[in-house]
Amino acid sequence: MHGGRDVANDASTVFDVVILGGGSGGYAAALRGAQLGLSVALIEKGELGGTCLHRGCIPTKALLHAAEVADETKEAAEFGVLATFQGIDINGVHKYKDDVVAGLYKGLQGLVASRKVTFIQGEGKLSSQTSVDVNGQRVEGRHIVLATGSVPRSIPGLDIDGNRIISSDHALKLDYIPKSAIILGGGVIGCEFASVWKSFGVDVTIVEGLPHLVPLEDENSSKLLERAFRKRGIKFELKSRFSGVEYTENGVRVSTENGKSIEADVLLVAIGRGPVSAGLGYEEQGVAMDRGYVLVDEYLRTNVPTISAVGDLVPTLQLAHVGFAEGILVAERIAGLKVVPIDYDGIPRVTYSNPEVASVGLTEAKAVEQYGKEKVVTLKYNLAGNGKSKILKTAGEIKLVQVKDGAVVGVHMVGARMGEQVGEAQLIYNWEALPAEVAQLIHAHPSQSEALGEAHLALAGKPLHAHD
């Protein structure tokens, strides 16, 4: 334990907030709570920072950047640069990735200590509606925040052995580059690993049960990603549901319900993540749950007045920045500030593959459902008309979804570095901007943000670098 008081020797301590789980959701609640003057205990059984820092966002994005460097080296001649791609030094890649994680981890530990959060290392269990038991002691709080996160999920008959059948946790640590890989699940995590592995020279096949990759995105984005992946030689089987897997002499053979049989060195199971809640005392203390998720209202309150829950443990979007936002909201509510419920449609979503897929707001299908077909207007702006994208040799589109004569309610982007554009797209959506208002903003030339500006010029009826 470090920071604050030693609860082991101070049984009378009652914290304002006791937080179970030190991932994105839990530590955000701790930092904000402490900032607002609350006394906070943060209990973590593994490493502070949780999935995002150690097994999720950060290490995957480091791998994706290494993949980008590999691709740029291979394609250097297209830019008149002489370079020879000699291969991937996987130990070097891991060292780079681990150094990034270690640096951020150290910074986060320092931050938590400096805010005087009492950090308790150990596996906790909810022991009453106002306490958590950890390391044989009871930690009391006026409020409890459950933030135990999620872990990779599998399905019956598919046992993750950590060797040939792996989860993202194992994939991040693989000390060799397989010749071939099957990825079960074409969602964000599956597509990001497909992208990395292809750049590292792996023969990749994605198996997805739904009709499209990144199926939660606007269909146009999915189709553009599929086109780009096809061009890169990333194979995928859509509408193909997993039916079984068997070991072969050197790898695995996956069969699908529609009669496909695919062999590879490894199978990465990326079919989603399930909540960590079993055996933690939640149900015993009367917390309402649904299939392992803790149920909350729009203020992240459970049915038990003293208990809140945040992050992947609750059935909202499983993203680190959602965890941060939920943690902050809970801390501010407990501290007595006025809080506003989160608009989950207004949260930016990025798949950091090559090319990137970024979006905020409603897909066209959702907008039609919400407003009616005749009320929805869409516009597609091709990145071919954007100078900076041309310089980067990237292809893609920005698609806008607008309510007729009203605000832009959806922005969907595919192309290199489009994740960096989602900040502006988020302002447009969340401020309910009209196309004409965005068209009035002058974007730097040549930049990729200019493509967003041009798309809005076109939607406002005055396209510049686009055909009428």
Ligand X SMILES: Cc1cc2nc3c(=O)[nH]c(=O)nc-3n(C[C@H](O)[C@H](O)[C@H](O)COP(=O)(O)OP(=O)(O)OC[C@H]3O[C@@H](n4cnc5c(N)ncnc54)[C@H](O)[C@@H]3O)c2cc1C
Residues with catalytic annotation? 445
CB of 239 to ligand X, least distance (A): 24
* Binding of ligand X by 355 (CB under 6 A): no
Cβ distance 347 to 48 under 8 Å? Answer: no
Cβ distance 310 to 339 under 8 Å? Answer: no
Cβ distance 267 to 161 under 8 Å? Answer: no
- The stretch among 107-115, 234-242, 308-316, 452-460 that binds ligand X (CB under 6 A) is 308-316
Structure tokens at 44: 């973590």
In this chain, which of 147, 264, 360, 422 binds ligand X, going by CB under 6 A?
147
Smaller CB separation from ligand X, 121 or 243: 121
- The stretch among 157-165, 227-235, 243-251, 310-318 that binds ligand X (CB under 6 A) is 310-318
Q: Residue count of the chain, please give it.
A: 468
In this chain, which of 45, 253, 301, 443 binds ligand X, going by CB under 6 A?
45
- Please work out, in degrees rounded to the nearest 5, the angle formed at the alpha carbon of residue 56 by the alpha carbons of 52 and 57: 75
Number of residues in contact with ligand X under rule CB under 6 A: 36
* Binding of ligand X by 51 (CB under 6 A): yes
* Binding of ligand X by 308 (CB under 6 A): no
CB of 83 to ligand X, least distance (A): 29
* Binding of ligand X by 312 (CB under 6 A): yes
The contacts found for 98-105 with CB under 8 angstroms, 24 or more apart, are: 98/59, 100/58, 100/59, 100/62, 101/53, 101/54, 101/58, 101/59, 101/62, 104/49, 104/53, 104/58, 105/47, 105/48, 105/49, 105/53, 105/54
Smaller CB separation from ligand X, 351 or 448: 351
In this chain, which of 39, 118, 131, 168 binds ligand X, going by CB under 6 A?
168
The DSSP line for 146-198 is E---EEE---TT----SSSEE-HHHHTT-SS--SEEEEE--SHHHHHHHHHHH
Q: How many CA atoms lie within 13 A of 181 on its CB side?
A: 31
- The stretch among 295-303, 314-322, 430-438, 460-468 that binds ligand X (CB under 6 A) is 314-322
In this chain, which of 33, 50, 141, 190 binds ligand X, going by CB under 6 A?
50
Gap between the terminal Cα atoms of the chain: 64
* Binding of ligand X by 25 (CB under 6 A): yes
CB of 236 to ligand X, least distance (A): 19
Smaller CB separation from ligand X, 29 or 400: 29
* Binding of ligand X by 178 (CB under 6 A): no
